Amino acid sequence: MRKWTLALISATMVMGLAACGSNDDKDSNAGNQSAGKTASSETVKLRIYAQYADEDTKGPYDYAAAELKKAMPNVELELDVQAQDDGQKLKTYAATGNLPDIYQAGLDIINTFKKSNNILELDKYADDFKSHMQPSAMNTLVTDDGHIYAFPYAGNEVAMLFYNKALFESNNVKVPTTYDELMTAVQAFNAKGITPLALFAKEKWPTVALYDMFASRMEPAGITKLDKGEAKVSDPAFKQAAEEIVTLVKAGLLPKGATNLNYDQAAALFHEGKAAMFLNGQWEIEASTKALGDKLGFMYVPAADAAAYDSAKLTFSGGGGPGGYAVNPSTKNPELAAKVAAFISEKYAEFKYTQRGTPMVATKVDAPIVNTFPPVMEQLSQDIPNMKTTAFSWGLGNPKFKAAIEDASQSLMTGAYTAEDFISDVSSSVPSK
């Protein structure tokens, strides 16, 4: 804390005593008045540490701050722009006793600050916020210990199988719902010189996502069950997933040299109509809509049979984790700080939903949409309330398993690797319970 701030506080306290205990002083420090003493006419400054670097971060923050001014005119936010340094500046603030009243925190910061008592448990302040959550996004609010430490604005992100409607229609290929139908599509497109599925398998996460898509047709938890040691890679769901991918790859599912393809190369195949399908996250929707227009669609992942397809269609590979706006436990007004943190998070999500055209937010939004969703995004938005998610490879908690599943799933894409090889290479990394 700066020396001049301490001096100002001391002077204010003396003046307050001289005035027989008057509460008219306006503290310039973040939240140095208790909730019980803060009148609605008093200005309370709260220091907030938030991302504010580009249009994607400035827009939602400015919107949330403006909405806060309308709802709580006595609260003034003092923005401390978040450094792009993997949390090092925030950790330094915590170590030196200079932590802002409100700050953005991901799971890494949450876990670190829990141990050092630098993050407020928000359970008793979260009832109203919890009622506004998307049911499918509760994993972004509650941590594994059952508590709440941050109010999220970002929802789950998912991997998707996009497809070119025109290519399927012009080649009389049915959009597959089963593995047999997927094999028929692979053979039909190969016969016409069209790549069935463009995959930038030079990166490992898309290969894990493809494997997880298949595994989650039988096991809704997908690879998270292996990550937590709650299943074996030799179990039917995981073994069958590897077997199906090997069969499809050998039949020509992917372009030659798929493990050497980067995003630009794989995307070009799809955007230029040379590939019928493409795997990427939902963030691909904008680029593929620009390239294909109303020819773009997304399919639910095929399964072994119609019953498995229907039961698993809303299980998406991908997910998210706890994170959002957290509160400094040493703030002088924790109830107000928590209320503001929750408000900012909801309005941040509201901006993303209504003005950025993304439904991938943690909370429900009732405000009218300014920028309408592309058709594929609209379809996805309707699925969000009821979807289930697994995990991206970068969200796995066991580093040894993460490395093994990334290497092995990438090898599955070569056509020179068997399901037995996959099981053997991954088994030793799966924790046992």
Q: What is the per-residue pLDDT for 54?
A: 85
Specify the CATH class of 157-319+391-427 in words. Answer: alpha beta
Please, are residues 230 and 183 in contact by the beta-carbon 8 Å criterion?
no
Query: What are the residue ranges in the chain where pLDDT is below 50?
Result: 1-39
Q: What is the per-residue pLDDT for 433?
A: 65
Query: How many other C-beta atoms can be found within 10 angstroms of the C-beta atom of residue 285?
Result: 23
Q: Tell me the pLDDT tens digit for each residue of 276-297.
A: 999 999 999 999 999 999 999 9
Q: What is the per-residue pLDDT for 163?
A: 98
Q: What is the per-residue pLDDT for 315?
A: 98
Q: What is the per-residue pLDDT for 17?
A: 32
User: Tokens 């620009």 label which residue?
Assistant: 290
In this prediction the pTM is 0.82
Q: What is the per-residue pLDDT for 39?
A: 43
Cα–Cα distance, 126 to 324 (Å, whole number): 13
The rounded Cα 370 to chain-centroid distance in angstroms is 23
Cα–Cα distance, 262 to 271 (Å, whole number): 14
Please, are residues 368 and 354 in contact by the beta-carbon 8 Å criterion?
yes
Q: What is the per-residue pLDDT for 277?
A: 98
Domain 31-149+321-376 has CATH 3.40.190.10: yes
Task: Quickly list DSSP for 406-430.
Answer: HHHHHHHTTSS--HHHHHHHHHTTS
Query: How many other C-beta atoms can be found within 10 angstroms of the C-beta atom of residue 184?
Result: 14
Cα–Cα distance, 107 to 323 (Å, whole number): 6
Residue 348's nearest CA partner among 127, 148, 51, 111 is 51
Cα–Cα distance, 274 to 195 (Å, whole number): 6
Please, are residues 104 and 79 in contact by the beta-carbon 8 Å criterion?
no
Cα–Cα distance, 209 to 330 (Å, whole number): 41
Task: Quickly list DSSP for 350-364.
Answer: HHHHHHS----BSB-
Coil/strand/helix, residue 169:
helix
Within the chain, all domains assigned CATH 3.40.190.10 are found at 31-149+321-376, 157-319+391-427
